Structure 1
Amino acid sequence: MATPKLDIELDDAYQAFLADRRRQILDRVSAACSRAGRDASEVLALAVSKTVEPEACLLAWRAGWRAFAENRPQELSRKLEFAATEPEMAEARFDAIGNLQKNKINQVIGRVALLHSISSSELACAVSKRCCAHGIVQPVLLEVNVSGEQSKSGFSPAEAREAVEALAALPGIRLEGIMTMAPRADADAARRTFSGARELACELRARTGLPLPTLSCGMSDDFAIAVEEGSTLVRLGRVTFDPAYELL
């Protein structure tokens, strides 16, 4: 089922909202970095555009956003095709963040800056095979279920430790780090999840000798906590695009 689109007017007022909300978000990222003794330049904010039409991405671009993300290959294609018709968006970055079915791999590889959701060794091998067939090297993240919630997909931390060296050796993909999601509406659990992801990333660096620079965690409700715990990439949908979302 496609994600319902926001009912918004794509006008000058909405573009002004996008610019103001972006400033608020970056202020909160900067404040979280200060609390953690980090530099705000270490954190990239992705505008997750799954709930808006392609034209809203253009307004977001004009409001200062440069990196976007989609969770469905069909919608990713629609946004990429639109961006290709807008010369000012020629340098726009798009990532793929949702669960990836094997029959959709060809719609994603080579088209995104980063694939966030390698959730199993089987999927990693399938992506590797397709990338090799197309002469592509695709940067990827391992999706790790740090919180242990049954509703979430991905490697368990133990599985990630066991598999990471073999996955890092696969041709056609370049392992860049890990991605995780925290339980909703529980700040303490979110902090434990994000700190656990940071610690796991350190372990995987030691096992592989790779820099694994990307820690993708933090969304609209918990991105400040994620930044405090070491996230280098936050995925922001509702907080970016929905005027009804209250940024507390």
Structure 2
Amino acid sequence: MTISERLAAIRRRIENACARCDRDPNDVRLVAVSKKKPAADIEQAHRAGQQLFGESYVQELMEKAPLVAAPVEWHFIGGLQSNKVKYLRGRVTLIHSVDRLSLAREISRQWQKEASVADILLQVNLAREESKRGAAEDEVLELVPQIAELPGVRIRGLMTLPPYAENPEDVRPYFRRLRRLAEQIAAAGLPGVEMRELSMGMSHDFETAIEEGATLIRIGTAIFGARN
């Protein structure tokens, strides 16, 4: 299958998942995860109607973005070191992976240099897996009011990467917990904090994530094929 055909198949699956849970497909945005894939693949996906692309490595984004002539939108979805934040300024519209106050402070500092505000998601490690980044649920509840006070960032929602499971039903509880955590945070009504985005679901489980409220699904392999 071509990239265009894979994208069309995924869009049909998104529409079907939304129909099952009575959601508007326009409320679910597809982030095409293009890490390890060449700029030509991104251009091909853009010609097939894909606008939004996610990268996990700062260096790769810096090298690849200038090679993509199409007017695409970049999100950063990977683990982020504070000393790399400056390279994302002006390049990305959303950072999915903020998991500590020090990182949020650096993002705020960098974006303020251009008198702008960074939109961010807080990454939640619901299973407390040591191999994955993200703050625990109780830590997130403490982080939100602290980060909300920073002048150069806006909290737009939450992101999670649950444990891998062959059966998507096994990870449904994690998606549901993220949605409930977002509802709890939204109920606090903190100024500058919105829970409009839930970034969750990947190639093998995105339909389940949509059924549990995902607004951003991050799909790589099902679009671009296996990574080298």
Paired amino acid for 2:171: A
Quick check: 1:55 aligned with 2:40? yes
* TM-score, normalised with respect to structure 2: 0.93
Matching residue within 185, 205, 208 for 2:186: 205
Paired amino acid for 1:194: F
Quick check: 1:225 aligned with 2:205? no
Match of 1:239 in 2: 222
Match of 1:13 in 2: none
Per the alignment, in what secondary structure is the counterpart of residue 219 of structure 1?
Answer: coil
Q: CA deviation at 1:133?
A: 2.9
Contact kept in structure 2, 1:110 and 1:137, CA below 8 Å: no
Matching residue within 66, 81, 84 for 1:81: 66
Match of 1:67 in 2: 52
Quick check: 1:194 aligned with 2:175? yes
Contact kept in structure 2, 1:177 and 1:213, CA below 8 Å: yes
Return 5+ residue gaps in structure 2 as ranges: none
Distance 1:224 1:165, change over 3 A: same
Contact kept in structure 2, 1:191 and 1:229, CA below 8 Å: yes
Give CA deviations for 1:115-149 in whole Å, capped at 9, x if unaligned. 11101112111211222233231111001112222
Identity of aligned residues (%): 37
Match of 2:124 in 1: 144
Matching of residues 169-188 of structure 1 within 5 Å: 169-185=149-165, 186-188=167-169
Q: Which has the higher strand share?
A: 2
Aligned length: 224
Distance 1:117 1:164, change over 3 A: same
Partners of 1:77 and 1:157 lie apart in 2 by 32
Paired amino acid for 1:119: D
Per the alignment, in what secondary structure is the counterpart of residue 133 of structure 2?
Answer: coil
Q: CA deviation at 1:179?
A: 0.5
Contact kept in structure 2, 1:182 and 1:189, CA below 8 Å: no
Contact kept in structure 2, 1:33 and 1:228, CA below 8 Å: yes
Distance 1:177 1:52, change over 3 A: same
Contact kept in structure 2, 1:109 and 1:136, CA below 8 Å: no
Quick check: 1:159 aligned with 2:159? no
* TM-score, normalised with respect to structure 1: 0.86
Contact kept in structure 1, 2:155 and 2:194, CA below 8 Å: no
CA RMSD of aligned residues (A): 1.6
Match of 2:88 in 1: 108
Give CA deviations for 1:55-93 in whole Å, capped at 9, x if unaligned. 11111111221111101111111222012xx2xx12x11
Give CA deviations for 1:186-222 in whole Å, capped at 9, x if unaligned. 5233101100000001111112253320100011111
Per the alignment, in what secondary structure is the counterpart of residue 211 of structure 1?
Answer: strand
